[in-house]
Structure 1
Amino acid sequence: MAQMDTQHFRNIALVAHSGAGKTTVTEAVLMATQTISRLGKVDDGTTTSDYEPEEIRRHSSISTSLAPCVWGSNKINVIDTPGYPDFIGEVISGLKAADAAILVVAAHAGVEVGTEEAWRLCQELGLPVIIFINKMDRENADFGQALKHVQDSFGSKCTAIQIANGSEQNFLGMIDLKNLPAEVPSAVSGEVEQLRDRLVEAVAETDENLTMKFLEGEEISQEELTAALRQAVLSGKFVPVLGGSAANSVGITELLNAVVDLLPSPLEARLPNFESEGKEIELSTNSDGPLAALVFKTTADPYVGTLSYLRVFSGTLKSDSQVWNSTKGLGERIGQLFALRGKNQEQRDSLITGDIGAVAKLSSTSTGDTLAQRESSGILEPLSFPDTIYTSAISPKGKADFDKMSSALARLVEEDPTLRLRRDLDTAETLLDAMGDTHIDVAVEKAKRKFGVDLEAALPKVSYKETIKASTKVEYKHKKQSGGHGQYAHVMIRLEPLPRGGGFEFGSKVVGGNVPKEYIPAVEKGVGKSLQGGALAGYPIVDIKAILYDGSSHPVDSSGMSFEIAGSFALRQGVADASPILLEPIVRLRVTVPDSFTGEVMGDLNGKRARILGMTPQSGVTLIEAEVPQAEVLRYSADLRSVSQGRGRFSVEFVRYDEVPAHLTQKIVDETKNETSSKG
């Protein structure tokens, strides 16, 4: 592919609800531009952009893929993103590298959950959008109904610049409303005239001069209409709606023309913030200017190493050069640069301003980092990903897998910023936080395929704790005689409950030296050891105060070890007599859901022992805040998806520990003991 000037680039992300046909649109674009000679199919696993085994097996995109092509004198970097909500991180990465988006809508389904989410992300990033109503040849396809659904959801600025000629099995193509053909089929002539007038009016409303012309009944020329339409799209005041059937390559030529004619080059696009030492720096869009490139995606491979996907916002990135990672403050060597088309790589000598490519084996660079020149380094606006909402406990299937598990999980997290790895010290589990169950499933599959590690994912254990509700006094005497020096320690300890979150306190009020000072730390150590397993179910004991107030010792047989043992047994005995209770973690949920689903969500939360803190209306949606036991919401992403038809969003954060209701305590204790005995 020959090098082109920045003004001839178009960086376009395809976004949609899963199954709307993004990948097929990408394939049809590559076919129309003669980049490929055969149209691949998602169901056959033969498309250019869905090449990972996990994608082929699922018939669905799970990662962002690049598919550059040439249309006329323009290079179009197509960025095909996933539609399934678990892979929202890939969508965000792809949109950060793009200057505009094509939002694909299935004609028979209209606006779906993923459509709404993709639109929201585009609006947050200020990206110009073209809407492509796909699958016009499908049963129940209706361009007019799909258009109405789009306008009801996203506003009247979404205006058709085409009209469908037929639908379903009688779909013949699209009629251009900007440049009407000499002959319009009589079956749609009335609708064509109506939509043409609506198009002219909508474009005129975005331009003051054209508004005056329109109101005064003057003719608006084709040149004026085209120029105003482009400016309106670039400013976000107008969203053109087109249609077609990607599977049959209908409407794709017109879509490509719209991309070139209506969407911005990198010279016209919104630039990300670029800061150095807290001060904003103006980005140059000149290829001769200082380098500023964003790593928007990373893949890990056991043989090739890491592959970093880059978008150059300023300057030129060259093969075999030295650059500065200004995010981490480290130097990096750039080896061979590549242009990527799906899994295929083409070597490149350089990437100029506005272009997208990749480089292998960067030693210290990760997703979101900025590559620049040391003498003029700044940091590009970083990628921002949502908090994880789903957690699984990860364990190895065998001994060989145990040895390799940590490194494999670290590599997976390196390539996916929406995966987070942590260790729960209370339950001794390795936890993987993700965006959903499918996200976890794919991570486990990748660990096997890429790194040869068999992993199992399970529901994480709840980190219960134990405490006491009553004060008590306990006396314990440790005495053992076995020839020679014996063992002797006598302690008297008072136990008191502390306020929630009080932790553990130890004090001594021994007088008269009944317990020599040198043995008091040993008593504290013994008490502390017994805090690791409570009297009810062996969970850690918290919020307790232990005061050593008396005891006795033996001049020969007493030792630190003896007093440590005495302190340990005294604590265990005392806790059992101090009304022990079980504590459970409480989390705060913030659920945002369309008003029409508020009742279902509230009912579901009430069934989870939730305490509703408040409900706040917010323009068609309601924010519900509640506190709920963590044990009730370990799989809340699936529950919310069910009761809100996928339209709810939520965040969760730990708040505190509260007492488990008495009627549930014994059930939890029994389950814990059964699990422990089965392992023993």
Structure 2
Amino acid sequence: MSRTESRSFVPPASPDQIRNVVLVGPAGAGKSMLFERLTAAEGAQVRQGEQPPSTGMGVATVARGDLVVTLVDTPGRPDFVGEVRAGLRAADAVLFVVSAGDTVDEPTRMLWRECAAVGMPRAVAVTQLELARADYDAVVADCQRVFGDAQPLYRPILQGGSVTGVLDLLRRRVRRVDPDGGVAAPEEPTDAEAADIEERRGPVLESVIEQSEDESLLERYLEGEDVDLAMLREDLRAAVATARFFPIIPVHPPTAAGIEELFEVIEVGFPAPPAAGIPPVSTASGSDYGDICADPDAPLVAEVVRTTTDPYVGRLSLVRVFAGTLRSDDRLHVSGHLSWVAGHEVAGHPGHDEDDERVGQISSPLADGTAPRDRAIAGELVLVTKIAHAETADTLSDMEHPALVAAWLLPEPQLPVAVRAASPGDEDKLASALQRVVAEDVTLRMEQNPETHQLVLWTLGPAHVDDLLERLRERHHVEVEVDPVRTSLRETFVRPVDGTGRLVKQSGGHGQYAVVHVRIEPLERGAGFEFVDKVVGGAVPRQFIPSVEKGCRSQIAQGVLAGYPLVDLRVTLLDGKAHSVDSSDMAFQSAGALALREAANDSTVSLLEPVDHIAVTVADEYVGPVMADLRGRRAQVHGTEAGEEGHTVVHAEVPQHELSRYAIDLRSVSHGSATFTREFVRYDYLPAQLATEIGSNRR
């Protein structure tokens, strides 16, 4: 009998029976193995050894008695933080997975602070207890130093390098590993185990008592009263659910040690959707929507947290239902306005509102397949097929009550990569494939640069790039080539110079005649273009003066030396000549353009490069290396300021050419502790020694 048949799935009857939990943590911490164990059937074997790092989100729903637990596994590599953020939106509580052989890394600390800012309940699962370098006490101490009020409710039992069970410090019980893979019943500890429990129980118990609403309990405990878990159960549950207390649980997926204890924390401590709260919701037009809660009878409000394309069923959406009930064949309103959250237009994700969108098949994700459903109630996380116009982060709502859920925090892609079809036959396929990929991945930004003529994809890192190229190749059958990203330069005149444009063609019949004399002067950066008319005596007829300006503007757009647009100059028309028959609008346009070209040479024209202002937020201990790295990028460091606790913000202006790989290099220099934002500020002179290297990139 298959695992699906042996574990028939019964949907929840009420939102109170639902728990949604996201697993987060660094790559290599054993997160995916833990996810596999938590979602496996009782007694099933779990793969051991190192597993390939995940690049996407895994979702599976497990029925535990009357409760339905949906677990979301997220990638551990920083390039896929977008998947982590989506997982946080899908869930109501967070399980941080750390290895007993490592300390808590900086990206995990950053994510913990992010969860703390919004008050998400959290717990810590310590894995890889069998490693030779594993030190459970050390990693617990590190968690307490970094996370605050985190306490180990359990302790692993190790014998000969193997995990044989866990000690329950509060209940004074032990659960040993069942060699058949089942769930063993708790039992009394041995004398040595009991002594170990008593030695370590005090600090944990005191921390739990501090969360109690019974103010006399601590005093009674200090006076010697024996306090057991039954007296603290409700206080502990409330403290975990409200993110005031963070349990630490040792788990060993291969033997299932600690798995039942972890499930107990999830089921008892983590909140059901009605107690977890709902993200901000407005109407589709941006006005106040009114009160909303996880009520199956309320108007529908749901959100697409992930979109994929299945070769058999087409577009497949992972949907979190926040309020109301989602039914197959319902007709819904779809809203998507990422720009409202990002503060700017998000390339590839224009704002849209669609009415009368039909819902396809609804199903619950299981570890080994799906369970078809005819509906999903508030609080559930389900798969939905064939929602044609809904993208990741879009809102699904009742057509009579259109809603818009504020999108989750979007990481800004900072690593550009230029791509092109490997063959002319792939060009149309590439355009179509990228439209689908961008609709699925809100962390991917697509830009068609009209100056460099490159298609640039803005990504979160090299692993994100590799995953993108693999998706294009394997799923969409498009081969692409990657090119260096070219910088959009500008040209400008560096000193005043005179120029003459002369167009004389009089070889018989109607000819062309126009002569103009101009003075070209540089202006300060950002001043743009000025045209001044100082012609006297009608040397250039009045009707042709706008033609001269038009010709100058046309040449400015094309450039005069290296083919880059001209900026920041004043052109003064001083004199000229006209012919009563052969002069024309086009002739004076050509003469104006010729005057600029005639005045341009290496001594009068220089290249300008774009400069960005960047703000780097970095852990205090890495400020020095970050600033040293910036100096090597021709940066002007303007200063620092205090950031959030333990962090400094470094402000600098850096040429864009020096930032093409900065997302990768900053991660290395800061040991993953830094993020940065960038914003264009101006163009500045390109050093002569770099003009050939950078300027030659133009196609």
TM-score (norm 2): 0.89
Q: CA distance change for structure 1 residues 576 and 80 in 2, over 3 Å: closer, same or farther?
A: same
Q: Does 1:292 align with 2:301?
A: yes
Separation of aligned partners in 2, 1:217 and 1:128: 32
Q: CA deviation at 1:562?
A: 2.3
Contact 1:23–1:42 (CA<8 Å) still a contact in 2?
no
Q: State the distance in 2 between where 1:102 and 1:31 align.
A: 18
Secondary structure, in 3 states, of the residue corresponding to 2:274?
coil
Aligned residues of 2:251 and 2:257 also touching (Cα < 8 A)? yes
**Aligned partners of 1:383, 1:638: CA distance in 2, in Å?**
24
| 1:522 shift after superposition | 2.9
Give the whole-Å Cα distance in 1 for the aligned partners of 2:324 and 2:333: 13
**1:17–1:113 Cα contact (<8 Å) kept:** no
The amino acid across from 1:640 in the alignment is: L
Alpha carbons of 1:672 and 1:42: their partners in 2 closer, same or farther (altered >3 Å)? farther
Aligned residue for 2:155? 163
The equivalent of 2:74 in structure 1 is 81
Match of 1:214 in 2: 221
- Is residue 465 from structure 1 mapped to residue 490 from structure 2 by the alignment? yes
**Residues 470 and 117 of structure 1: is their aligned pair in 2 closer, same or farther, counting only changes over 3 Å?**
same
**Is the contact made by 2:294 and 2:324 (CA closer than 8 Å) also made in structure 1?**
yes
- Find the aligned partners of 1:561 and 1:378 in 2 and give their Cα distance: 56
Q: Distance in 1 between matches of 2:574 and 2:194?
A: 98
Give the letter aligned to residue 676 of structure 2.
F
Identity over aligned pairs, percent = 36
SS in 2 for 1:92: helix
**How has the CA–CA distance of structure 1 residues 7 and 616 changed in structure 2, closer, same or farther, with 3 Å as cutoff?**
same
Give me the whole-angstrom Cα distance separating, in 1, the residues matched to 2:518 and 2:537: 16
Q: Tell me by how many angstroms 1:281 deviates.
A: 2.1
Match of 1:604 among 607, 629, 636: 629
Aligned counterpart in structure 2 of residue 321 of structure 1, from 316, 330, 333: 330
User: Aligned ranges for residues 137-152 of structure 1 at < 5 Å?
Assistant: 137-152=130-145
Shift of 1:214: 3.1
Of 184, 190, 200, 2:189 maps to 184
Residue 359 of structure 1 aligns with an amino acid whose one-letter code is V
Report the more deviating stretch, 610-619 or 407-416.
Answer: 610-619
Q: Deviations over 1:211-264 (max 9, x none)?
A: 343344433243122221111101111000000222333221221122112211
Shift of 1:468: 1.2
Q: Secondary structure at the match of 1:539?
A: coil
Q: Which of the numbers 56, 60, 84 marks the counterpart of 1:63?
A: 56
Aligned-partner residue type, residue 610 of structure 1: A
Query: Is contact 2:561-2:600 (8 Å) kept?
Result: no
CA distance in 1, matches of 2:380, 2:76: 24
Q: Which moved more, 1:12-21 or 1:450-459?
A: 450-459
What is the CA-CA distance between 1:26 and the residue it aligns to? 0.9
- Could you tell which deviates more after superposition, 135-144 or 172-181? 172-181
The equivalent residue for 1:270 is 277
Q: Secondary structure at the match of 1:247?
A: coil
Shift of 1:326: 5.0
Q: 2:102 aligns with which of 96, 101, 109?
A: 109
Residue range with higher mean Cα deviation, 331-340 or 535-544: 535-544
Give the match for residue 49 of structure 1: none
Tell which deviates more after alignment, 212-221 or 605-614.
Answer: 212-221
Q: In 2, distance between residues paired with 1:529 and 1:75?
A: 67
Paired residues of 1:295 and 1:368 also in contact (CA < 8 A):
yes
The residue type paired with residue 236 of structure 1 is A
Please state if 1:199 is matched with 2:204: yes
Q: What CA distance in whole angstroms lies between the structure 1 residues aligned with 2:50 and 2:18?
A: 31
1:415-435 per-position Cα deviation (integer Å, ceiling 9, x unaligned): 000001112222121111111
The one of 175, 199, 202 aligned to 2:167: 175
Partner Cα distance (1:597, 1:670) in 2: 31
Pick aligned residue for 1:312 from 321, 325, 329: 321
Q: Distance in 1 between matches of 2:62 and 2:42?
A: 6
Instruction: Please state whether the residue corresponding to 2:475 is helix, strand or coil.
Output: helix
**Could you tell me how far apart the structure 2 residues matched to 1:22 and 1:146 are?**
16
Aligned partner of 2:591 among 541, 562, 566: 566
Listed one character per residue, the Cα deviations across residues 612-645 of structure 1 (whole Å, up to 9, x for unaligned) are: 1121233211111111111112111111111111
2:121 corresponds in structure 1 to 128
Counterpart amino acid of 2:376? Answer: L
1:668 aligns with 2:677: no
Change (3 A) 1:42 1:137: closer
CA change 1:452–1:636 in 2 (3 A) is: same
Q: Does 1:545 align with 2:537?
A: no
Shift of 1:440: 1.6
Distance change >3 Å, CA 139–CA 154, structure 1 → 2: same
Q: Which residue of 1 aligns with 2:11?
A: 3
Q: Structure 1 pair 577/549, CA: closer, same or farther in 2 (3 Å)?
A: farther
Residue from 359, 367, 370 that aligns with 1:345: 370
Contact 1:103–1:118 at 8 Å: present in 2 too? no
Deviation at 1:609, TM superposition (A): 1.5
What is the alpha-carbon distance in structure 1 between the residues aligned to residue 477 and residue 270 of structure 2?
44
Distance in 1 separating the partners of 2:25 and 2:220: 37
Quick one: distance in 2 between partners of 1:146 and 1:43? 21
Q: Which residue of structure 2 lines up, in the alignment, with residue 620 of structure 1?
A: 646
The 1:467–1:411 alpha-carbon spacing in structure 2 relative to 1, beyond 3 Å, is same
Equivalent pairs counted in the alignment come to 656
Whether the aligned pair in 2 keeps the contact of 1:139 and 1:168 (CA below 8 Å) is no
Instruction: Give CA-to-partner distance per residue, 1:5-30, whole Å, 9 cap, x none.
Output: 22221101011111111111111112
Tell me the CA shift for residue 167 of structure 1: 6.8
Report what 1:90 is aligned to: 83
> How many Å separate the matches in 2 of 1:671 and 1:366?
38
Number of the residue aligned with 1:474? 499
Whichever residue aligns with residue 652 of structure 2, its letter is: A
Deviation at 1:118, TM superposition (A): 3.1
Cα distance per residue 1:50-104 (max 9 Å; x no partner): xxxxxxxxx1111112111112321110111111111111111111110111110
The alignment's C-alpha RMSD in Å is 2.2
What TM-score results when the alignment is normalised by the length of structure 1? 0.92
